[in-house]
Amino acid sequence: MVAGEAKPGQFVMVRTSGTLEPFLNRPISIHRIDEAKGIIELVYQVVGKGTKLLSRISPGQHLQIIGPLGNGFSWQTGFKRVALVGGGCGIAPLLALAEKLLENEREVYVLLGAQTKEKLLAAEEFSQLGCRVRISTDDGSQGKKGFVTQLLEELVNSISLDQVYACGPLPMVKGLIKIAEEKGIPCQVSLEERMACGVGACLGCACPVRNPDGTVGYKRVCHDGPVFDAKELLLDNK
Ligand code: FES
């Protein structure tokens, strides 16, 4: 059921069943969607109690899953050349997006950043789909030594893009937005945020935004996002 409704950029709230410890669900991006088989793939990093428990489940064990949640990425039929930029676990939601964008024979550039070669996600999968993949690692163990923002800078200086999609750590996202803005390229950003309820009820994931009248407002990353037009985000206030 989740696979039948899911869109690239959406997420699910997951909890291992049979325990109240930890109490809260964990938000995890949908990495891949196979509608025909009714399967979604999730990618996550073990960072705390919840994800540690999740990493210990056995095949066949049941999980509590709420979703798909959030808005997901959007695209226009006229887009011909796009760049997907991901850092760390922020790469996870971009694979399903790449699959969708390639259905219409778009040129899809994928720029992936990680601390080290070992922490790099899904590079092979993107290449197999037919994306033009470029890689950076902080220590230079794979691809270019440095940050993924530098890869975007090089790309926008060599070709024109219709859209940038980005997901990753906040400093990286801020850098990408700046580059896209300077070149006048529309940019959609999927924000990574801690979430308690995941359905818009607790306001724990509020993010400052620019209202159409210029005033500052707040939107819920889980319910109004996690994907936002970069122009409306006020990430310096976070
Ligand atoms: Fe509760 Fe977003 S996590 S409102």
Q: What DSSP assignment string belongs to 21-53?
A: SS-S-EEEEEEEEETTTTEEEE-----SHHHHH
Distance 219 CA to ligand 1 centre (A): 10
Q: Does residue 12 fall inside a structural domain?
A: yes
At residue 23, does pLDDT exceed 70? no
What local confidence, expressed as pLDDT, does residue 38 receive? 93
Mutation probe of ligand 1 site: the residue of 199, 218, 228 with most atoms within 8 A of C-beta: 199
Q: How many domains does the chain have?
A: 1
Look at 12-21, 88-97, 155-164 and tell me which has the smallest mean pLDDT: 12-21
At residue 19, does pLDDT exceed 80? no
What local confidence, expressed as pLDDT, does residue 199 receive? 92
Q: Does residue 232 fall inside a structural domain?
A: no
At residue 24, does pLDDT exceed 80? no
Distance 193 CA to ligand 1 centre (A): 9
Q: Does residue 37 fall inside a structural domain?
A: yes
Q: Does residue 237 fall inside a structural domain?
A: no
Q: Does residue 167 fall inside a structural domain?
A: no
**Does residue 177 line the site of ligand 1, with CB under 6 A?**
no
pLDDT classification of 194: cutoffs 50, 70, 90: confident
Q: Which atom of ligand 1 lies at the shortest distance from residue 203's CA?
A: 4
Average confidence (pLDDT) over 93-111: 94
At residue 237, does pLDDT exceed 80? no
What local confidence, expressed as pLDDT, does residue 236 receive? 80
CB count, 10 Å around CB of 107? 17
Phi–psi pair at 42, nearest 5 degrees: -120, 145
Q: Say which residue the tokens 């319910």 belong to.
A: 223
Distance 120 CA to ligand 1 centre (A): 29
> By percentage, how much of the chain surpasses pLDDT 70?
96
What local confidence, expressed as pLDDT, does residue 55 receive? 85
Who's near 60: CB < 8 A, 6+ residues apart?
Answer: none
What local confidence, expressed as pLDDT, does residue 21 receive? 59
| Among 50, 83, 64, residue whose Cα is nearest residue 2 | 64
Distance 156 CA to ligand 1 centre (A): 35
Residue 40 belongs to domain spanning: 2-69
CATH of the domain at 63: 2.40.30.10
What local confidence, expressed as pLDDT, does residue 206 receive? 94
At residue 5, does pLDDT exceed 90? yes
- pLDDT, one tens digit per residue, over 51-82 is 888 888 888 888 889 999 999 999 988 889 99
**Does residue 220 line the site of ligand 1, with CB under 6 A?**
yes
Q: Does residue 26 fall inside a structural domain?
A: yes
What local confidence, expressed as pLDDT, does residue 155 receive? 97
Separate counts of helices (H) and strands (E) for the chain: 6, 13
**Does residue 202 line the site of ligand 1, with CB under 6 A?**
yes
Q: Does residue 219 fall inside a structural domain?
A: no
H or E element that contains 218: strand 216-220
**Does residue 197 line the site of ligand 1, with CB under 6 A?**
yes
Average pLDDT, the chain: 92
> CB-hemisphere CA count at 13 Å for 53?
19
Average confidence (pLDDT) over 117-126: 94
Q: Does residue 168 fall inside a structural domain?
A: no
| Among 84, 2, 79, 80, residue whose Cα is nearest residue 40 | 2
- pLDDT, one tens digit per residue, over 125-148 is 999 999 999 999 999 999 999 999
Distance 61 CA to ligand 1 centre (A): 27
Average confidence (pLDDT) over 10-35: 81
